[in-house]
Every structure is written in C-alpha cells, then in structure tokens.
Amino acid sequence: MVLALAAVFPPAAWAAEEPVDLAAINRIKAEAFDNSKVMEHVFYLTDVNGPRLTGSPGIEGAAKWVVNRLEEWGLTGAKMETWGPFGRGWNSTRFTAHLKAPQYAPLIGFARPWSPGTNGPVSGEPVMAVMKVNADFEQFKGKLRGKIALLEPPPAIMPILAPPSRRLTEVDLAGMFAAPDPGAAAVGLNPSAPGAPAPNREKIRKFRNDLNRFLVEEGVALAVYPGERDLGTVRATSAGSHDSKNPTPPPSVAIAAEQYNRIARLIEKKIPVTVEFDIQAEFLPEKDSFNVVGEIPGSAKKDEVVMLGAHMDSWTGGTGATDNAAGSAVMMEAVRILKALNLKMPRTVRIALWTGEEQGLLGSKAYVKTHFADPEVMSPKTEHPKLSGYFNMDNGTGKIRGVYLQGNDMMRPVFEAWFLPFKDLGATTVSIRNTGSTDHVSFQDVGLPGFQFIQDPVEYSTRTHHSNMDVYDRMQKGDLMQASAIVASIVYHTATRNELLPRRPLPKPKKKEGAGATSGE
C-alpha cells in the first residue's frame, strides 16, 4: 500500500510527489528489529574471518562465507567475481614483542603489512633514527646495520579532555545541511578533514619507497613506529606495497605510543634498554582478486539495477569491525530482509562487497570500469543507463543520520521523503555536500548516482579506524539494526520507483592518476 505523507508530516518537509510505501517500511522495520541477524554477520566477518587484508586467507575465507550466505537466502548469481591482478598477498602468523631491560614489559603492537618476518627472535638495544625527508639519510649511513631503529620522533600524548565516543548533535547536523561556500570547491580540500589541504599521496609514497630502500641497503634489522593513537590503541597501515615493483621494507612494526615513548626516553637518557621481537610473516603469490556479488532479480524491469555495497577488506591490527565489517554486515542484512519479506520489486537489486578499497578503491573502480564506463574515456557501456543508483556504507558502526547528495540537488526531495519515516530513529539530514575516500566515488566518477550515508562517528576516528581496537566489541548492535532498516527501505523504494533516480550530466574524462596511486598505502 502506497500512502501519501501529507497527513502525517508538514508539507514543507518533503516532496509530495515522491510516494513512500509505509506498509513495506513497517514490515522492513519489524524484520530488522525483531529478527535481526546483523551481529551474526559481524561475528563471521570479524571473529572468524578477520582481519581481511586483500590477498590474504582472511579475505578469501570471508568471501566464501558471504557467497554461501547469499545463496542460502535465495539470491541468484552469488559469486566471487574476479577483477584482475592485485599483486602479492601478505599474512602475519606470529608477533611477540617485549621490553626486556631495564624492566620487563610486554609490548602492544603488530607487524605492519607487506613487511617480512624477522627469521627468528631479534633482540638488542634500539636506536633513534628519525628520518622525515631524504636529506636525513646521510647522517645515518653506515650506522644502522643490525640495529632496531625507531624511525619517528616520540609523539605527544595529550590528556583526554573530551569523550572519545560521540554522536552527531543537532548543531553538527545543521552544519552538514548547510551548503558549503562555493569558493571552497577550488581549493582542493581533504574530504576526510574539512578545511585541511589534501595530502600529497604521491610524495608520501615516494618517500616511503626511498626510505624502505635505504633501510634495507643499510641492513636495518627491524623498523619500529609509534601507533598514531594513545591509551594502548595502535593505529597503523602498510609498511610496504602489494606491488612487487616497489621496494620491500625491512621487518616493520607499530607499537603503542606510550611504550614507544618510554623506549625513546630511555635512549635519550643513555640508560641501557633491550627489546626483543619475533615476527613471522609471509608474502603470498600474486593472483587475481575479486568482489562478491549477488542479486535479487527484478520483475518487469529486471534489466534495470539498484546496487548497494561496502568494502569487505580491512587492515590487520584488529579484525576489521568498524572498517568495514559494519558496512558489509548492514548491506548483507538489507538484502536478507528484502528477500525474507519477499517484497516485489520491478528492478533487480544487486549487492557488491568490494576488495582492495584500502589500497585505493581498486575493486569498485575495476567493477565500474568493466560494467559501466572507464572514467578516463567516459564512453558509457550498455549497463550504464540501466543503473538507477548505488548506496554505500563505510563510516563505522554509528547509526545513519542522513545522506550526502554529492551535489545532486535533484535527489533532495527523493531522500527527504524516504527519510521521513525514520525521523524518530535519528535519520534527518540531507546534505548537498560531497564526501569522498570510499567506493561510491567510483560510481560518481562515471556520472552514476552514488551515495554515502552520514553516520554518527562513535569511536571511529578516535579509537577504531585502522587500529588494534577495531574489533567486534566496538560494534553497536542497535545502530547497525537501524542502518539495516534504512538501507533496505531506500533500496526497496529505488527498486519500485516509477523512474530511475535522477543523475547529473556525464563528467569529462578523468585525468589518469599516478602509477600505483593508492588511498591507504
């Protein structure tokens, strides 16, 4: 039953011409809240198959499990769809770390991906060898052979003056609703840190390669980095590259910042200090990588498609819970709900869980290039006009508070109508703003409607993102249930809408990025 909303909600708050099926939403909410399976999905993605670094046994195990679940629910065409060479895989099989003198203490940390093992225990007195630019190499030539080297200055540890977890306030949401200053579009800002210049990733990659080459030539036994967070939370990503053409680093670890600083102070005061590390890690053969896809076939318009997705790969410090088992589990739950309710949808609904996101949206970029268009050429393929839209989730465990329009004002009345039945669950904000750094961008780059949801940050930036605390226990069940209901409803309404979602004009061909460009390495 399709009901008008004018009798319930103020006409100024929504577009009267956009129908909303309140009966279907009622059924979706009941299934999402009374029969939720979302935390079961999280458990298998994290505790059983996490971490899920692309090219590792964890990602392959998770993918096979997802395919089996989609098949059990009755989706068709569930498979691991290869997208081409990724590079060498990597897997950590042992990590022990100890401060042995002047007093014993276990060290919190983990091996950084794409660095080798130590070939047995490595013990010794560490040295400070801070190198931030290539000019710093000269002072350490001939001094690091066989050494355990601390390569960063001791980070400042500040008192915790604000809660590490938070929800978006009405003031926050009002700021997101407001359109940005049009002049800001020409500045080239970093979407993950509004107002900050975008990092020069090519420069960062080049220095990392130069540093790794220098460390290996100088015979460094082990490279040690602080973990970028405090309170024992260790955040770190890649030491090297999945691309074998780039230099392989020496064995490399990240440890808790407080422990790193203790070691640095002991070195500064010339008090003998001994550490020991024993790391086993393996590089895995190069082979094609994959995305996981599956479909609920449509009826009258089955050649038209609605897509929902999230990236399934993770980093290795934790088990990849908030980044991004959360999004993957919600998207799985959304299709489970739609299938369990046997809701009739004219369009086909397709789920896609991506790999290689952490290395630069590789899986979604390859999928879009194969199925829809190459952004460097912008000659749409036959599937391009048949995709109604793509919906993505990749900002942690927090509940959905709204959506980014990515500059597509034509979608404003559509989303306003679709979100109104979820106003009492906190989803209210339709923002004209862009957000980046995740897989909806791959669709936007070829002129397809791709959207990322606004979510409560909870502990995403302060504790869990790319850290050893990104584990099942940091997930918020109620938030994921709320998100599952909203995504299922939005996908249902997209699949049953009379028209395809409105889209912006095709973009101009996109300039090719630098060779080996990545977002996460």
The type of residue at 446 is: V
Q: Which of 177-191, 262-276, 301-315, 478-492 has the lowest mean pLDDT?
A: 177-191
Which residue is associated with the tokens 């479909």?
Answer: 295
The span from the CA of 345 to the CA of 420, in Å, is 21
Q: What is the pLDDT of residues 92-138, one digit of tens each?
A: 999 999 999 999 999 999 999 999 999 999 999 999 999 999 999 99
- pLDDT by residue (tens digit) across 21-49? 999 999 999 999 999 999 999 999 999 99
- To which H or E segment does residue 170 belong? helix 170-177
Looking at residue 181, its pLDDT comes to 82
Q: What percent of the chain has pLDDT over 70?
A: 92
Average pLDDT over residues 66-86: 97
Domains of the chain plus CATH, in order, are 20-87+287-496 (3.40.630.10), 89-160+196-285 (3.50.30.30)
Q: How confident is the model at residue 3 (pLDDT cuts 50, 70, 90)?
A: very low
> How high is the pLDDT of residue 192?
46
- Name which of 415, 420, 413 is nearest 8 in CA terms: 420
pLDDT digits (tens, 9 = 90+) for 132-172: 999 999 999 999 999 999 999 999 999 999 999 999 999 99
- pLDDT at residue 401, as a whole number: 98
Amino acid at residue number 229: R
Backbone phi, psi, residue 462, to 5°: -90, -30
Identify the pLDDT of residue 190. 45
The span from the CA of 165 to the CA of 497, in Å, is 38
Least confident stretch, 196-200, 297-301, 339-343: 196-200
Predicted TM-score (pTM) of this structure: 0.93
Chain-centre distance for alpha carbon 239: 18
Q: Output the CA torsion sign for 19, 23, 26, 31.
A: negative
**Model confidence at 185, in pLDDT bands (50, 70, 90)?**
low
Per-residue pLDDT, 511: 78
Here the tokens at position 496 are 């049953």
Residue 212: helix, strand or coil by DSSP?
helix
Q: What pLDDT is attached to residue 520?
A: 52
Rounded Cα–Cα distance for residues 372 and 349 (Å): 16
What residue type is assigned to position 482 of the chain? Q
Q: Which residue has the tokens 């809701």?
A: 343
Pair of tokens at residue 520: 């996460």
Mean pLDDT for the chain overall: 93
For residue 79, the SS3 value is: strand
Q: Give the confidence band of 470 by pLDDT, cuts at 50, 70, 90.
A: very high
- Which pLDDT value is given to residue 182? 81
Residue spans of alpha helices (H) in 183-325: 201-217, 257-268
Positive/negative CA dihedral, 110, 116, 119, 121: negative
Confidence at 510, pLDDT banded by 50, 70, 90:
confident
**pLDDT per position as a tens digit, 218-238:** 999 999 999 999 999 999 999
What is the pLDDT, as a whole number, of residue 197?
58
The predicted pLDDT at position 184 comes to 64
DSSP string, 88-141: EEEEEEEEEEEEEESS-EE--EEEPTT----SS-EEE--EE---SSGGGGGGGT
pLDDT over threshold 90, residue 83: yes
Proportion of the chain above pLDDT 90, given as a percent: 90
| Cα–Cα distance measured from residue 210 to residue 222, given in angstroms and rounded to the nearest whole number | 16
Residue 424 burial (CB count, 10 A): 8
pLDDT in tens, 194-209: 445 556 878 999 999 9
Q: How far is CA 63 from the centre of its chain?
A: 16
Query: Rounded CA gap, 432 and 413, in Å?
Result: 12
Q: Which of 214-218, 228-232, 280-284, 454-458 has the lowest mean pLDDT?
A: 228-232
pLDDT bracket for residue 183 (50, 70, 90): confident
pLDDT attached to residue 199: 67
312-340 pLDDT, tens digit per residue, is 999 999 999 999 999 999 999 999 999 99
